[in-house]
Structure 1
Amino acid sequence: MSTELAALAARLDGAQQDAAAIEQLSAGGALDLSDAYAVQHALLTRRISRGERAVGLKLGFTSRAKAVQMGVDDIILGSLTDGMRISDGGAFDPASAIHPRIEPEVAYLLDPEDPTRVTAVAPALEIIDSRYRDFRFDLSDVVADNTSACAFVIGEWRDPAEVGPLGNRAVLLEIDGRLVQTGSTAAILGDPARAPQAALRLASAQGFPAHAGGILLAGAATAAVEVPAQGVVEATITGLGRVSVRIERSIR
């Protein structure tokens, strides 16, 4: 990796650790997509060097609503670490992020020996937090920024055969019991069952390990909403279950 790309990764890493927004990388000149993924890999390496462990992958912009919201139209791939994971019902501190947003997703667990095989499925929440000012970016910016990955929560894993097809299940997103978004799993690539194959294709093209820890977040089923200062955010997917996170701001 070039010194220039390593420096871009260091800027993004510092922005994440300090919870302080930076200017878009593209403001200093366009990045091509291969360089953007190289920056993302360098970001992951920096996190691993601090003791985190890669546990999965995430797809971005699989929802048309999300793509429109963010002004981009390509599917992208990001990395998950154990440092991003929050237990179901656990707490997230919004002070640890810049301008966090949250969205409901479907999570898949892939067989580490055969990543084309799904062994379990669960409802999930993803918290995203662009490190760029005003949550604005182009495609290469967001890829370099690890697809705005911040934190994720996974509900109870279930047997895919027991759950059945997930192609058009109702999705609800609530904050303190107040409905803030509704959607369908069909918003995820038309059917979230397409997500594992899409992830493996991108992983092969962009140099990610095929299994990468086994977890796959398939993408958002609704547009993201701002994380509240406090409260409980809960997602429900019909026939799959519920998952929640408590928002608790620390005193700093």
Structure 2
Amino acid sequence: MNIAHAAHYLDDAARNAKAVEQMSTSAPFSVGDAYRIQRASIERRKQRGERTIGVKLGFTSRAKMIQMGVDSLIWGWLTDAMLEEEGAPVDLGRYIHPRVEPEVCFLTKRDIDRPLTALEAHSYLEAVAPAMEIIDSRYEAFRFSLEDVIADNCSSAGVVIGAWSRDFEGIRNAGVQMRFDGRDVQVGSTGAILGDPLRSIVQASRVVAAASVVLPAGSLIMAGAATAAVALEPGLHVQCVISGLGQAEFTTTRQA
């Protein structure tokens, strides 16, 4: 597998919002290669002026694993270009086949430079917020292997974050509703995220340490989906409500 060529292939697909064929069907590659491709693709974005602002965890809920047919936690990078303004219109023309999922987002207050224990995790956090991730696989028909999706930065494409809170205890098993135009399209619990979203901090510390990466203070950690993802289309009001924590929302458009 040519790492640079694969990174260019996926980066161009994302920039041009044009789906491409799965890479693994014609040239199988390892999970290690997949993370190398992911990092090379992110480096291309940074060279264009984007800035990494945190990480996202994927497949942290059983529902998501079933939906995507995998059984391993994965991770990818967040950049400032992925941030969508909460409450504002999101232009779906930037995406290929976008889907949305309700999440919990953490803001760190200390550098994470080693694997953390569950007892330490809380002391590394500044705040927590309801959030949604817009995922958008760059592969045709949203079909991919585990290696393909890791290489594609775990399908991460957009992030919408609600108001920040210090109520870390209240998120352990909070009700989650994702609504389109006021109608529930997914209902679940934050408990679906590793049993407790705070465990995502431990997991994030382990994966970045394994990659010899320091996650600086002020980083975002998207804990993973609380429910399965739902496809987006123009003209929707999209809302994520987490009981006791708050809500995040946006509308969808498509520019001509």
Q: Same fold (TM over 0.5)?
A: yes
Q: 1:150 aligns with which of 139, 153, 157?
A: 157
| Letter aligned with residue 23 of structure 1 | E
How many angstroms does 1:246 deviate by? 1.2
Q: Is it true that 1:248 corresponds to 2:253 in the alignment?
A: yes
Residue 137 of structure 1 is matched in structure 2 by 144
When the two structures are aligned, how many residues end up with a matched partner? 247
The CA RMSD measured in Å over matched residues stands at: 1.4
Asked if structure 1 preserves the Cα contact closer than 8 Å seen for 2:112 and 2:215, the reply is no
Residue 86 of structure 1 is matched in structure 2 by 84
How many angstroms does 1:165 deviate by? 3.7
2:237 and 2:12 map into 1 onto residues whose CA distance is: 29
1:229 and 1:91 map into 2 onto residues whose CA distance is: 10
Residue 218 of structure 1 is matched in structure 2 by 223
Give 1:2-17 correspondences, 5 Å limit.
Answer: 4-17=2-15
Q: Is it true that 1:234 corresponds to 2:232 in the alignment?
A: no
CA distance 1:96–1:212, shift in 2 (3 Å) = farther
How many angstroms does 1:114 deviate by? 5.1
SS in 1 for 2:25: helix
Q: Is it true that 1:102 corresponds to 2:93 in the alignment?
A: no
After superposing on structure 2, the runs of 4+ consecutive aligned residues of structure 1 that deviate more than 2 Å are 112-116, 206-213
Asked if structure 2 preserves the Cα contact closer than 8 Å seen for 1:66 and 1:220, the reply is yes
Residue 41 of structure 1 is matched in structure 2 by 39
How many angstroms does 1:15 deviate by? 0.6
SS in 1 for 2:158: strand
| Letter aligned with residue 183 of structure 1 | G
How many angstroms does 1:213 deviate by? 5.2
| Letter aligned with residue 123 of structure 1 | P
| Letter aligned with residue 135 of structure 2 | I
**Unpaired runs of 5+ in structure 1?**
none
Q: Is it true that 1:194 corresponds to 2:192 in the alignment?
A: no
2:214 and 2:48 map into 1 onto residues whose CA distance is: 20
Asked if structure 1 preserves the Cα contact closer than 8 Å seen for 2:54 and 2:215, the reply is no
CA distance 1:114–1:79, shift in 2 (3 Å) = closer
How many angstroms does 1:91 deviate by? 2.0
How many angstroms does 1:177 deviate by? 0.7
1:72 and 1:114 map into 2 onto residues whose CA distance is: 28
Q: Is it true that 1:121 corresponds to 2:119 in the alignment?
A: no
Residue 186 of structure 2 is matched in structure 1 by 181
| Letter aligned with residue 60 of structure 2 | T
Q: For residues 134-159 of structure 1, what are the alpha-carbon distances to aligned partners after superposition, in whole Å with 9 as ceiling and x for unaligned? A: 10111110000000011001101111
How many angstroms does 1:50 deviate by? 0.8
Q: Is it true that 1:69 corresponds to 2:37 in the alignment?
A: no
After superposing the two structures, state which structure 1 stretch, 52-61 or 209-218, moved more: 209-218
After superposing the two structures, state which structure 1 stretch, 111-120 or 77-86, moved more: 111-120
How many angstroms does 1:31 deviate by? 1.4
2:127 and 2:201 map into 1 onto residues whose CA distance is: 12
Q: 2:213 aligns with which of 208, 214, 227?
A: 208
Residue 166 of structure 1 is matched in structure 2 by 171
Asked if structure 2 preserves the Cα contact closer than 8 Å seen for 1:19 and 1:97, the reply is yes
After superposing the two structures, state which structure 1 stretch, 202-211 or 24-33, moved more: 202-211
Asked if structure 2 preserves the Cα contact closer than 8 Å seen for 1:171 and 1:238, the reply is yes
| Letter aligned with residue 202 of structure 1 | V
For normalisation by structure 2, the TM-score amounts to: 0.93
For normalisation by structure 1, the TM-score amounts to: 0.94
- Aligned-pair identity (%): 47
